[in-house]
Amino acid sequence: MDKESIIEILNAVAEGEITVSEAELRLKLEPFEELGFASVDHHRGLRQGVSEVIYGGGKTPEQIVKIAMALINKGQKTILITRLSKEKADIVNKDMDMQYYEMGGIGVVGSIPEPNTKGTILIVTGGTSDMPVAEEAALTCRVLGNNVKCLYDVGVAGIHRLLAHSRDIMNANVIIAVAGMEGALASVVGGLADCPVIAVPTSVGYGASFGGLSALLSMLNSCASGVSVVNIDNGFGAGYMASMINHIGGK
């Protein structure tokens, strides 16, 4: 709040234009209102130009269609819908044209854009059961304009499978490491790579994996530098983060 605004309020009080309590309220509110956060939001949209995302998890198909329609009407070309079950997708598809990717539980309205950055995001998984989470990440990356390469089932129990791909690891701009059970993949990939690694623990496993807790703790404690972690099964979050990093070069 600059000096002029305060003086203006005080003058208004002095001249009886506003009451003391109105002045008090305006003094209390000013710091927030003056920052104009609507514009912040606009600004962010301008610079990031990211496709819009709808978290489908807690929404009805009707709500999803309604939101998507509104976005399309405002000119959005591509809309990503995450955590979308087959059942919901079928209902949505009756009302609008949407491409559904069942493994990752992802719907895409509009066309996936051409990559608008050169670097590649490499996605590796420990096992085949981690694929749904990896697919969620991969589609998120693609919709956000990235080149993506996927290596599935290259877990550390057969380390040669992973090493056979060291050229891909060396060449990636960002890596997303997706693994459940003991989550050791993140550390091994982190040790091989010289780029940032986003680790995604998955809830794959049983018994003492405690719904992904084992992989989560493992990844947080990674002895390799350059590894950071997102929530269990959060393929979307990893993809979004990786895309942000992958676009930094072009800024």
Pairwise CA distance, residues 97 & 21, whole Å: 54
Tokens of 210: 């405690």
* Residue with token string 């079950």: 85
Stretch touching its own copies by CB under 8 A, among 84-92, 94-102, 105-113, 233-241:
233-241
Residues in 146-185 at the binding interface with its own copies, rule: CB under 8 A:
153, 155-161, 163-164, 166-167, 170, 173-174, 181-184
CB-CB contact of 178 with 191 (8 Å): no
Among 6, 62, 77, 116, binds its own copies (CB under 8 A): 6
94 vs 160 by CB, closer to its own copies: 160
Pairwise CA distance, residues 51 & 111, whole Å: 11
Instruction: Give the burial string for 168-196 (b: 16+ CB within 10 Å, else e).
Output: bbeebbbbbbbbbbbbbbbbbbbebbebb
CB-CB contact of 169 with 189 (8 Å): yes
Could you tell me how many residues of this chain bind its own copies (CB under 8 A)?
A: 116
Among 66, 111, 116, 221, binds its own copies (CB under 8 A): 221
- To its own copies, the closest distance from the beta carbon of 87 in angstroms equals 18
CB-CB contact of 144 with 53 (8 Å): no
* Residue with token string 């493994």: 103
**Cα-based distances in Å from 89 to 51, 102, 210, 247:** 19, 9, 30, 30
- To its own copies, the closest distance from the beta carbon of 108 in angstroms equals 17
- To its own copies, the closest distance from the beta carbon of 31 in angstroms equals 4
86 binds its own copies (CB under 8 A): no
Residues in 188-217 at the binding interface with its own copies, rule: CB under 8 A:
188, 190-192, 194-196, 198, 201, 203-217
3-state SS, residue 169: helix
2 vs 97 by CB, closer to its own copies: 2
Pairwise CA distance, residues 139 & 146, whole Å: 10
Site string for its own copies, 100-129 (x = CB under 8 A): -------------------x------xxxx
CB-CB contact of 247 with 119 (8 Å): no
70 vs 163 by CB, closer to its own copies: 163
CB-CB contact of 143 with 113 (8 Å): yes
Q: Which amino acid is at 164?
A: A
100 vs 236 by CB, closer to its own copies: 236
Stretch touching its own copies by CB under 8 A, among 68-76, 89-97, 108-116, 225-233:
225-233
- To its own copies, the closest distance from the beta carbon of 131 in angstroms equals 9
Site string for its own copies, 30-69 (x = CB under 8 A): xxxx-x-xx-xx-xx-xxxx---x---xxx----------
